[in-house]
Amino acid sequence: MMRSKQVKNFSLIDTLECGQTFCWVKDGQGYINADIDQVVYVEQRGDLLRYETSDSNVDLSKLFRLNDPLNQIQQEITRDGIMRKSIDFAPNLRVINDPFFPCLVSFLCSVWKNVPAIRSMTNAIRIRWGPKYKFREKVYHGMPSPEQLSKATVSELRSLGLAWRAEFIAKSTKAILAGEVIPEELQKKEFPEARKILKRLYGVGDKVADCVSLFSLGFLEAFPIDVWIERVIQEHYGVFTDSGNSYSKKSEAARRYFGRYAGYAQQYLYHYTRCAV
Predicted TM-score (pTM) of the model is: 0.94
Reported confidence tier of residue 157, pLDDT bands at 50, 70, 90: very high
Does 46 share its domain with 126? yes
How confident is the model over 186-223, as pLDDT tens digits? Answer: 999 999 999 999 999 999 999 999 999 999 999 999 99
Model confidence band, residue 1 (pLDDT cutoffs 50, 70, 90): confident
For the chain, what is the mean pLDDT? 94
Are 21 and 60 part of one and the same domain?
yes
- The yes-or-no verdict on residue 111 having pLDDT over 90 is no
Asked if the model's pLDDT at residue 113 lies above 80, the reply is: no
CATH number of the domain where residue 78 is located: 1.10.1670
| Shared domain check, 87 and 47 | no
Domain that holds residue 201: 3-73+93-215
79 and 65 share a domain?
A: no
The string of pLDDT tens digits covering residues 130-155 is 999 999 999 999 999 999 999 999 99
Q: Are residues 82 and 65 in the same domain?
A: no
Whether the per-residue pLDDT at 71 is higher than 90: the answer is: yes
Binned at pLDDT 50, 70 and 90, residue 80 comes out as confident
Domain identity same for 253 and 199? no
Are 115 and 142 found together in one domain?
Answer: yes
pLDDT at 135: 95
Q: What is the mean pLDDT of residues 28-54?
A: 97
15 lies in the same domain as 67: yes
End-of-domain residue from the set 164, 180, 215? 215
Q: Are 25 and 16 in contact (CB under 8 A)?
A: no
Q: Are residues 206 and 109 in the same domain?
A: yes
Question: Of 215, 239, 254, which residue sits at a domain end?
Answer: 215
Looking up residue 42, the CATH number of its domain turns out to be 1.10.340.30
| Domain total of the chain | 2
Residue of 165, 163, 65 whose CA lies nearest to 111: 165
| Shared-domain flag, residues 81 and 66 | no
176 and 264 fall within a common domain: no
Same domain, 119 and 51: yes
Residue 275: phi and psi, rounded to 5, are: -105, -25
- How confident is residue 182, by pLDDT bands cut at 50, 70 and 90? very high
- End-of-domain residue from the set 186, 215, 244: 215
Q: Summarize pLDDT for 115-127 with one digit per residue, the tens.
A: 888 999 999 999 9
pLDDT the model gives residue 277: 57
